[in-house]
Amino acid sequence: MHVDEIHRIAAFIPGDKEGLGRCVQVFFREGTTGCIDLGLQSFIRRLANTFALNLIEARRRFGAITGQKNLVPLVLTPFLLYVPIKSRNPLISGDPAYGYFRLRSVIEVSETPGPCTLRLEGAQSITVRQSYRTVCRRLRTARKLESLLVDRYWQDMDALRTAGCTHQIYKPFSMQENMHFYGISDVERMKEVGCMELRNLMEELVYQRLNEVLAAEKTEACNCEQCRLDMAALALNDLPPRYVVTQRGATYSKADILEIQRYVDVVAAVTKAVKVVQQKPGQNCKR
């Protein structure tokens, strides 16, 4: 299986098909579906082999970070992480029940249809067999893990540039054997990072939402600079950072913004921050 094919997968869940027996149902990010004549574990091993991933080591390593012994997220790269969620009730003992959902492909989590439904890229929805609260908790854990891995990635890239190591393939994780781990296909692309800058898209989203809330006619929140900064800081502390590399001075693209909005609740964080500051403004408030 090629890396580009794997990047198209929004979710994969265990299934049964007449004439095939056990199989894997695949939901692609563009909205199509497919069925692969493999058991779930065999399919996961095939994904892992594509990325030269040691599954036992990965589960031990990432399980220690998340505090989980079982149902550890499947991390193919820091930017390609699949969350295990119960997608069906087992038919017999040993029957696989958990599907895997790409963290960045989950657009919305809803309590209806119950017990919980995930809306994915490609306008596809999957009703799972776990509660809304459990699903949200699993997604939060996965986001925290993703943030740690992305942070580790940037630290390693900084160390690489400092050392001037642009003449060899970069392998920051022992389980990874090629540059596809970070979506960088060759050494020349890695050199280009030196003339780029790191930006947190979450700040753009928070300020965008904050402006909308404060401009609303019914809001009584203070609009002074001090309160705005306090609100933004509170909201950003409740949200995972989302970093992108862009040319210095470049503006954010709408595609980048939409990608972030798919899997973080910026609205809730900003609304909460506004209420907190409104009830207890800082000492330097100009009101």
Written as tens digits, the pLDDT of the chain (287 aa) is 777 789 899 999 998 876 556 899 999 999 999 999 999 999 999 999 988 889 999 999 999 999 998 999 999 988 789 999 999 998 787 889 999 999 989 989 999 999 999 999 888 999 999 999 999 999 999 998 988 887 777 676 666 556 555 433 333 333 333 333 333 333 344 444 444 566 777 887 888 788 877 876 456 778 888 888 999 999 998 887 777 665 544 444 444 454 555 445 778 888 889 989 888 887 777 66
Nearest CA to 201 out of 149, 244, 236, 230 is that of 244
C-alpha 199: how far from its chain's center? Answer: 17
**How many C-beta neighbours within 10 Å does residue 261 have?**
17
Question: Do the Cβ atoms of 244 and 256 come closer than 8 Å?
Answer: yes
Q: Look at the block and give the residue holding tokens 């540059």.
A: 179
Q: Looking at this protein, which amino acid is placed at residue 170?
A: Y
Question: Do the Cβ atoms of 173 and 181 come closer than 8 Å?
Answer: yes
**R_g (Cα) of the chain, nearest Å:** 21
Q: Look at the block and give the residue holding tokens 């599954």.
A: 55
Nearest CA to 68 out of 44, 39, 95, 98 is that of 98
- What is the Cα–Cα distance from 52 to 19, expressed in whole angstroms? 32
